[in-house]
Amino acid sequence: MEIEEILAEVARYAPHYVTVTGGEPLAQKHCDCLLEALCEAGYSVSLETGGALDVSKVDPRVSRIIDIKTPGSLEESKNLWSNLDFLNGNDEIKFVLTDRADYEWAKSVLEARRLIAVCPVLFSPVQGRLSPRDLAQWLLEDALDVRMQIQLHKLIWGNEPGH
């Protein structure tokens, strides 16, 4: 699909905010051009990325939402830690947690890298693996200065592709 076609499809919904996500958007050859075109069209744009690819060249008007892969994801080695150097208050960092060990690991990363001072941080439980109630309780007990979110797309559409 060409960028002009994508812009036309987006315009059909008349949104104010557009999120580019799904798989790894930065692995797509013209993702940077799409992000810039969406910004030029007047949308507030965010990019959700797995954090394994360089975000330094992303249009500065785009809010970058970067996953930090936890040990429980079995993808921790893919974290491109240098991406954190390019974040600012308009961006977000997201940890998707599988269990208490991931939670403790994420807390240690928060402290060691002083992420709260960089941008908002979100903790999300993996659906079916970590109870949202348990995560909420841990956050309350620790008075951790993060936002909790659930994987809303999975509640609405399950694991159905394309959503």
Each residue's pLDDT tens digit, 104-130: 999 999 999 999 999 999 999 999 999
How many Cβ atoms are within 10 Å of 26's Cβ, its own excluded?
20
The answer to whether 77 and 106 are in contact (CB under 8 A) is no
Q: How far apart are the first and last CA of the chain?
A: 17
The answer to whether 94 and 65 are in contact (CB under 8 A) is yes
Task: Among 91-95, 131-135, 140-144, 156-160, name the one with the lowest average pLDDT.
Answer: 156-160
The answer, yes or no, to whether residue 20 has pLDDT greater than 90, is yes
- Give per-residue pLDDT as tens, 40-89: 999 999 999 999 999 999 999 999 999 999 999 999 999 999 999 999 99
Tell how strand 44-49 and strand 17-20 pair up: parallel
Listed in order, strand segments (DSSP E) in 44-108 are: 44-49, 63-67, 92-97
Where do we find the tokens 């592709």?
161
Per DSSP, 99 falls in state S
Q: Is the pTM of this model over 0.85?
A: yes
Among candidate residues 119, 74, 125, 79, the one with its CA nearest the CA of residue 98: 125
